Amino acid sequence: MKQFLSRITFWKATAGLFLLGGLVTTVIRFGWGLGASTNLTDETPWGLWIGFDVVTGVGLAAGGFTLAGIVHVFHIKRFEPVVRPAILTAFLGYCLVIVGLLFDLGRPWSIWHALIYQNPHSVLFEVAMCVMIYTSVLALEFSPVVLERFRLQKALKVIKYVTPVLIILGILLSMLHQSSLGSLYLIVPQKMHPYWYSPMLPVFFFISAVAVGLGMTVVESYLSARAFQKTLETPLLRDLSKMMIGVLLVYFTMRGIDLVRRDALGFLFDGSFETMMLYLEVSLMLIIPLILFNLRNWGRSRQGMFFSAFSVVLGFMTNRLNVTMTSLEAYYRENFGVSYFPGIGELMVTISIVTLGFVLFGLAVKYLPIFPDHEEETVLRLDTKPENSGPHAMHARPVPGLNRH
């Protein structure tokens, strides 16, 4: 118990420290501008806040549309229990992406200009539009959770009625902007390292987003199971992991072929920084998960699945940071003799945003019917009179999606 307590306080203290650092940087950022708070320069105009908070963040939130699609479009109902946490992650993720964007934009108060001065030739315009609409769609997809909590039956009915349309709209919007984050870089073929520049970037971005969406779902299910004593069936996690591995195999096969076709394999043994980063990316995103997944007792255990999914998440982050930052390093070096590494303030803000994400997720799980067993608890507490609170009450609980007898 004592050990447990000290662990909690350790993490809390660390989180507090980061949040404090983030706060200080926030003051500097909005008081004195980007120059004072970041390592960004004329030579390196985009850094960690775009590379991680926006480009990586949107990818990590891809579980929302992936799981919603599996369950509500393909009607594979056994994944129903993970849809809510996935949509919650997505919704929080997108909100935090917008927070990150407000830090990075030089003139954050004019963010709404994208609505009125539209440039349809700009990839960024498309991303902005999709992210904005999709965040609203996610809010609606998530709203049943809140409506249920406050038992607003009428609104619930309306939402349930339009859900299929919302889900399909959400998937279309996600396809567009997940891939477009890759398209952003299509305009700089001459600046990027051949490992990461490819005309296929949009396709790669989309497929890897699907994989990491599944991975994130496994990770957060496992973590919340530990933190909140919610249980999710192991076979379910294993099926998600299987799908994730399948998508990853497709992804890396395509990338391999693409590298060969563009003659980019010649660099593989040059020992350069870029090569090391590519190795790191492939190990984390493909090799380690594959090994873990195929080990006899690991692959079937919850820990094994967690660690392989977690490795994919880390690998995915490496990939996005490689595309947005590593791939430009050689260009910076040759043309300006500079190199970009995020400043302490940038790191603090990013870590704070991630911490905020964890905290909000935790609060939501605690107070809203996110995980199935929690839902049961609430239903039991709110709906059931003491006399029929037996196993019978559990069966009487309306199962979402199965209530049309």
Give the residues lining the site for other proteins (CB under 8 A): 30-36, 40-43, 45-46, 69, 72-75, 77, 104-108, 110-111, 113-114, 117-126, 128, 164, 168, 171-172, 175-176, 179-180, 183-184, 186-191, 199, 202, 335, 404-405
CB nearer other proteins, residue 70 or residue 244: 70
CB nearer other proteins, residue 299 or residue 342: 342
User: In angstroms, what is the minimal distance from the CB of 189 to other proteins?
Assistant: 6
User: In angstroms, what is the minimal distance from the CB of 42 to other proteins?
Assistant: 5
CB nearer other proteins, residue 128 or residue 138: 128
CA angle 291, 320, 113 (to 5 degrees): 150
CB nearer other proteins, residue 36 or residue 268: 36
User: In angstroms, what is the minimal distance from the CB of 404 to other proteins?
Assistant: 8
CB nearer other proteins, residue 128 or residue 365: 128
CB nearer other proteins, residue 30 or residue 367: 30
CB nearer other proteins, residue 102 or residue 225: 102
Chain center to CA of 161 = 27
User: In angstroms, what is the minimal distance from the CB of 186 to other proteins?
Assistant: 4
CB atoms under 10 Å from CB of 231, counted, come to: 14
User: In angstroms, what is the minimal distance from the CB of 118 to other proteins?
Assistant: 7
CB nearer other proteins, residue 124 or residue 249: 124
Distances (CA, A) of 301 to 24, 79, 86, 158, 233: 42, 19, 21, 41, 11
CB contact burial 177-204 (16+ within 10 A = b; e otherwise): bbbbbbbbbbeeeeebbbbbbbebbbbb
Q: Which two tokens stand for residue 188?
A: 């700089």
Distances (CA, A) of 371 to 9, 144, 222: 26, 13, 12
Instruction: Please give the Cα distance from 172 to 244 (Å, whole number).
Output: 20
CB nearer other proteins, residue 20 or residue 188: 188
Q: Which of 291, 254, 258, 94 is nearest to 177 (CA)?
A: 94
User: In angstroms, what is the minimal distance from the CB of 316 to other proteins?
Assistant: 21
CB nearer other proteins, residue 40 or residue 353: 40
CB nearer other proteins, residue 16 or residue 164: 164
